[in-house]
Amino acid sequence: MTMLERARDVPTSSAGQSERAAASLHEVAITYHLADGSFYEAVAPTTLAIAEGEFVALVGPTGCGKSTLLNVVAGLVAPSSGTCLIHGDRLSGINGQAGYLFQAEALMPWKTALANVAVGLEVQGLPRDEATERARSWLGKVGLGAFLQRYPHQLSGGQRKRVGLAQVLARDPRMLLMDEPFGPLDAQTRAIMGDLLLGLWQADRKAVLFVTHDLEEAISLADRVVIMSAGPKASIIGDFPIHLARPRDAHDVRLQPAFVETHRAIWQVLKEEVLKGYAQANEAKA
Ligand SMILES: Nc1ncnc2c1ncn2[C@@H]1O[C@H](COP(=O)(O)OP(=O)(O)OP(=O)(O)O)[C@@H](O)[C@H]1O
Ligand SMILES: [Mg+2]
């Protein structure tokens, strides 16, 4: 068996397996209605399952529909057709079992790092003292123990992302949905954040759907890398298991020959779509 095989055999799309999946999309298609009365068929019928404890990265060219699919799992976008199951139950409305980390910052500028994390726990019903203690503990785990009383504008971009990560993880969601969470950071800081995420994830292995357009980031973090084609009617065109040992160092793993081989194989599939994506964006502008 080669080091990297297409995940055709990975039991993600059979109905029996997906009942046990943390999240599964069955023939989910999304058509957006535009203001001028026309339609845009963003995503063609798509089937994808994320197993319990599995870290899946979704990669594709800009505008292909990655955020759209993630938002379906989050319950923020309703499929035009098809179904989304969360732990076997049909999702209608917001997915309350998911912690969601957006690319955009979601911190309250008038609250300290500690208060930003604690407030989400209080909303969940935790008494204030307990919420503050748990927030303090999680900020320690993301390396911000000395920055509890800082306001967001007094933190670096990477530190703000750490607060965001603590905010989401402190609530102990059953699954994590991450949409280019480290997007605005420089490459080095992203790798450090990736490593931090892996370290924390390793402790209790929640199911993760991680959207990124950075293939290296995807391979360094994930158990499976799923590739989407350029839209319209985007679909999944590749599903690759990543056979790199865990625990992994999200930075050092990139130096391994197996990583390079994996990257080369997936890039062959992705490259064409990225070029199509750019061409379509240019046509749209013309
Ligand atoms: N609310 C909306 N109404 C109409 N079209 C939309 C809407 N949201 C997204 N789209 C379109 O659907 C397609 C997919 O968008 P989506 O945001 O899912 O892409 P993406 O893969 O996350 O891209 P990026 O990598 O740039 O974040 C795009 O062509 C986008 O313009
Ligand atoms: Mg997006």
For residue 65, the CA-to-ligand 1 centroid distance in Å is 5
d(CA 156, CA 210): 23
Q: Is 277 in the pocket of ligand 1 (CB under 6 A)?
A: no
What span, in angstroms and rounded, lies between the C-alpha atoms of 116 and 133? 13
For residue 125, the surrounding DSSP H or E stretch is none
Q: What is the model's pLDDT at position 20?
A: 75
- DSSP one-letter string for 196-213: HHHHHHHHH--EEEEEES
Question: 57: which 2 tokens?
Answer: 């990265």
Give dist(CA 248, CA 242) in Å, integer. Answer: 12
Q: Scan for tokens 């997936």, then name that residue.
A: 266
Q: Which atom of ligand 1 is nearest to the CA of 232?
A: 29
CATH number of 1-97+176-188+207-286: 3.40.50.300
Nearest to 166 by CA among 152, 187, 186, 153: 152
The pLDDT value recorded for residue 170 is: 93
184-220 burial code (b ≥16 CB/10 A, e <16): ebeeebbbbbbbbbbebbeeeebbbbbbbbbbbbbbb
CB 30 within 8 A of CB 43: yes
Residue 10 has pLDDT above 90, yes or no: no
Lowest average pLDDT, out of 35-39, 174-178, 272-276, goes to 272-276
> Is 5's pLDDT higher than 50?
no
How far is residue 191's CA from residue 182's CA, in Å, rounded to a whole number?
A: 9
Tell me what pLDDT residue 16 has: 42
Q: Is the CB of 18 under 6 A from ligand 1?
A: no
The reported pLDDT for the residue numbered 259 is 97
- Whether 39 lines ligand 1, by a CB cut-off of 6 Å, is no
The pLDDT of residue 278 is above 90: no
User: Which range has the worst mean pLDDT, 32-41, 219-228, 235-244, 275-284?
Assistant: 275-284
Evaluate: CB of 229 within 6 angstroms of ligand 1: no
Mean residue pLDDT of the chain comes to: 89
Atom nearest to 69 CA in ligand 1: 18
**Residue 95 phi, psi dihedral angles, 5° rounding:** -80, 100
pLDDT for position 274: 81
For ligand 1, the distance from its centroid to the CA atom of residue 69, given in whole angstroms, is 10
Could you tell which of 30, 64, 71, 179 is best to mutate to test the pocket of ligand 1, judged by most ligand atoms within 8 Å of the CB?
Answer: 64
Q: Whose CA is nearest to atom 31 of ligand 1?
A: 63
Our answer on whether the CB atom of 158 is closer than 6 Å to any ligand 1 atom is no
279, pLDDT greater than 80? no
The contacts of residue 268 (CB under 8 Å, 6+ apart) are none
C-alpha span between 123 and 264 (Å, rounded): 46
Tens-place pLDDT, residues 120-168 = 999 989 999 999 999 999 999 999 999 999 999 999 988 999 999 999 9
**Dist. CA 177 → ligand 1 center (Å):** 17
Q: Helix axis angle, 157-170 relative to 187-204, nearest 10°? A: 20
Instruction: Output 3-6 pairs: Cβ under 8 A, ≥24 positions apart.
Output: 3/243, 3/258, 3/261, 3/262, 4/240, 4/241, 4/243, 4/261, 4/262, 4/265, 4/266, 5/241, 6/238, 6/239, 6/240
pLDDT above 70 for 14: no
User: Which carries the bigger pLDDT value, residue 286 or residue 184?
Assistant: 184
Give the pLDDT score at 188: 86
Closest ligand 1 atom to residue 211 Cα is 22
At 19, is the pLDDT very low, low, confident or very high (cuts 50, 70, 90)? low
**CA-proximal residue: ligand 1, atom 12 (nearest):** 42
Check: CB of residue 219 under 8 Å from CB of residue 242.
yes
CB 105 within 8 A of CB 162: no
Q: Nearest C-alpha to atom 26 of ligand 1 is from which residue?
A: 62
Band (103; pLDDT cuts 50, 70, 90):
confident
- Domain boundaries defined on the chain: 1-97+176-188+207-286, 104-173
In tens, the pLDDT along 227-276 reads 999 989 999 999 999 999 999 999 899 999 999 999 999 999 888 888 87
